[in-house]
């Protein structure tokens, strides 16, 4: 039974020192984007779950504690709310928002090192699942962040809690029976909710399996199981081969975002910004814009005519226009405020074109036709923040200081730096003291 072989492989894996260091950087980024995301929507979510605002699990950036289930939901939602959180090309989705949010519910009972190792394992499962099911699963319309995230987070929790093979299989099977999340929600708050739902499903699935509920164990390959229904073309090899040889958190590595929009837009955004910086373009000079993608690579960018900045997170038209005209990719530019009709008319100038075939290094090319007849063009393969063009240490710190302010900001940095030497309850207690989160562009200072 291949589901069992997968579980045996990851439960017995030892992660490398290098991968632990990357996990720490990922946690730092996760907390950065989560603390930045205090907003109307996080308040709405708390209202909906007011019955679960008592418990022992933390809500990032909030004073109170909550049930484990709501903690996972809230933290996952918040981590992905601004679309500033990391992504991974094997997953085709957002791993840290789901994985850390599920694992945080167990943090107090484990060492910092075990926590980080469990994240590495969870990411490995999620990335290998991605390699096994992509691109078909994603192209069908599933939001991989949640469909793969719930399974991976259940596995990560099982690793952290040193569960048996059978309990792990039951947990992941219960998670498989909740795998959901539709791409139609991209551009609405339900997209980030999917990250929270996956984390919550994992926490609940593990609790049910540990309480004794039994599920179909071969969750991936059973008749009418995960493969049959979600990914008929699933390729089993990437799930089982070469465990421990290298770690997906490092190779190919995480994409760490500088800007709050869909990662599929990052290359185009960089190209547009570069053209503006080089040429100092003004709106009235731009006659038309072409953005060239490899076919299917703009699938997530579903909004060609966004009505709000929030919808603009999934619009290459909006993002490229901002970049070309020298406007900042700020939180404010991607808020739920309506875009002006003048701006929306300008977006009609931006067209998408497509290149047939595929590439291991899919580039995006932005071409601007100027009113004076000139044509400017910029191609980007590795946008800033992608594994081949990573943020420097200084840039990561800049992201932190841009989005997170408060007396606890500095101590938090120190705490994460030392994390492999810490006990989990100490970081947990510290995270509890971080509240208010009055740092969001939408609600505050």
Angstrom distance (rounded) from CA 111 to CA 198: 24
Alpha carbon of 130 to those of 60, 124, 144, 235: distances in Å?
28, 10, 8, 10
Residue (of 4, 18, 5, 37) closest to 437 by Cα position = 37
| Backbone angles phi and psi of 425, in degrees to 5 | -65, -25
Tally of CA atoms within 13 A in the half-sphere of 410 that contains its CB: 1
Name the 3-class secondary structure at 62.
Answer: coil
Among 12, 44, 277, 351, binds a second copy (CB under 8 A): 44
* Cβ nearer to a second copy, comparing 216 with 283: 216
* Cβ nearer to a second copy, comparing 40 with 348: 40
Is 443 among the residues that bind a second copy (CB under 8 A)?
A: no
Q: Which stretches of 203-336 are assigned E, i.e. beta strand?
A: 254-255, 286-294
Is 49 among the residues that bind a second copy (CB under 8 A)?
A: yes
Name the 3-class secondary structure at 161.
Answer: coil
For residues 23, 24, 25, 30, the Cα torsion angle rounded to the nearest 10 degrees is 90
Min separation Cβ 432 and a second copy, Å? 17
* Cβ nearer to a second copy, comparing 213 with 237: 213
Alpha carbon of 428 to those of 62, 102, 105, 413, 434: distances in Å?
13, 14, 9, 14, 10
Among 47, 340, 392, 421, binds a second copy (CB under 8 A): 47
Q: 289-310: buried (b, 16+ CB within 10 Å) or exposed (e) per residue?
A: bbbbbbeebbbbbbbbebebbb
* Cβ nearer to a second copy, comparing 204 with 422: 204
**Rule CB under 8 A: which of 57-86 touch a second copy?**
67-69
Among 226, 255, 293, 334, binds a second copy (CB under 8 A): 226
Angstrom distance (rounded) from CA 237 to CA 121: 17
For residues 90, 94, 99, 102, the Cα torsion angle rounded to the nearest 10 degrees is -150
Contact map string, positions 102 to 141, toward a second copy, x by CB under 8 A: --------------------------------------xx
* Cβ nearer to a second copy, comparing 223 with 414: 223
Among 1, 162, 214, 359, binds a second copy (CB under 8 A): 214
Is 161 among the residues that bind a second copy (CB under 8 A)?
A: no
Angstrom distance (rounded) from CA 212 to CA 209: 5
Is 309 among the residues that bind a second copy (CB under 8 A)?
A: no
Is 293 among the residues that bind a second copy (CB under 8 A)?
A: no
For residues 277 and 153, the answer to whether their CB atoms sit within 8 Å is no
* Cβ nearer to a second copy, comparing 51 with 361: 51
Is 189 among the residues that bind a second copy (CB under 8 A)?
A: yes
* Cβ nearer to a second copy, comparing 204 with 317: 204
User: Stretches 93-101, 192-200, 374-382, 407-415: which one binds a second copy (CB under 8 A)?
Assistant: 192-200
Angstrom distance (rounded) from CA 68 to CA 167: 19
Min separation Cβ 180 and a second copy, Å? 5
User: Stretches 27-35, 44-52, 114-122, 281-289: which one binds a second copy (CB under 8 A)?
Assistant: 44-52
Size of the site for a second copy (CB under 8 A): 58
**Residues contributing to the site for a second copy (CB under 8 A):** 40-41, 44-45, 47-49, 51-52, 54-56, 67-69, 140-143, 173-174, 176-185, 187-190, 193-194, 197, 204, 207-208, 210-216, 218-219, 222-226, 228-229, 302
């Amino acid at each position: 039974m291949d589901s069992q072989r997968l579980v045996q492989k990851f439960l017995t894996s030892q992660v490398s020192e290098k991968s632990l260091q990357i996990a720490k950087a990922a946690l730092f980024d996760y907390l950065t984007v989560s603390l930045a995301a205090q907003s109307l929507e996080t308040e709405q979510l708390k209202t909906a779950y007011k019955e679960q605002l008592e418990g022992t699990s933390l809500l990032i950036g909030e004073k109170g504690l909550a049930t484990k289930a709501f903690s996972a939901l809230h933290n996952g939602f918040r981590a992905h709310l601004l679309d500033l959180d990391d992504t991974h090309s094997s997953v085709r989705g957002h791993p840290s928002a789901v994985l850390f949010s599920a694992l945080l519910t167990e943090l107090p009972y484990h060492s910092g090192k075990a926590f980080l190792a469990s994240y590495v394992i969870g990411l490995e499962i999620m990335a290998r699942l991605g390699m096994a099911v992509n691109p078909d699963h994603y192209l069908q319309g599933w939001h991989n962040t949640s469909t793969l995230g719930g399974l991976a987070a259940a596995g990560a929790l099982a690793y952290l809690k040193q569960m048996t093979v059978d309990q792990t299989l039951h947990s992941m099977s219960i998670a498989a029976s909740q795998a959901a999340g539709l791409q139609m929600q991209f551009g609405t708050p339900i997209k980030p909710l999917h990250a929270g739902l996956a984390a919550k499903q994992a926490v609940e699935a593990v609790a049910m399996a540990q309480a004794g509920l039994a599920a179909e164990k071969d969750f991936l390959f059973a008749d009418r199981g995960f493969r049959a229904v979600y990914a008929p073309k699933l390729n089993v090899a990437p799930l089982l081969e070469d465990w421990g040889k290298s770690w997906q958190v490092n190779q190919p590595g995480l994409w760490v975002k500088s800007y709050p929009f869909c990662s599929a837009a990052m290359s185009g955004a960089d190209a547009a910004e570069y053209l503006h910086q080089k040429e100092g373009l003004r709106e009235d000079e731009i006659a038309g814009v072409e953005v060239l993608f490899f076919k299917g690579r703009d699938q997530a960018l579903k909004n060609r005519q966004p009505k709000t900045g929030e919808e603009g997170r999934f619009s290459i038209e909006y993002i490229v226009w901002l970049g070309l005209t020298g406007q900042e990719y700020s939180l404010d530019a991607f808020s739920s405020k309506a875009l002006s009709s003048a701006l929306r008319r300008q977006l009609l100038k931006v067209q998408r074109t497509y290149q047939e075939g595929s590439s291991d290094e899919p580039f995006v090319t932005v071409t601007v036709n100027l009113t004076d007849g000139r044509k400017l063009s910029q191609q980007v393969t590795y946008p800033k923040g992608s594994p081949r063009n990573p943020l420097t240490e200084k840039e990561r710190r800049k992201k932190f200081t841009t989005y997170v302010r408060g007396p606890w900001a500095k101590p938090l940095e120190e705490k994460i730096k030392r994390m492999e030497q810490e006990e989990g309850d100490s970081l947990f207690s510290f995270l509890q003291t971080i509240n208010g989160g009055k740092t969001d562009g939408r609600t505050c200072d």
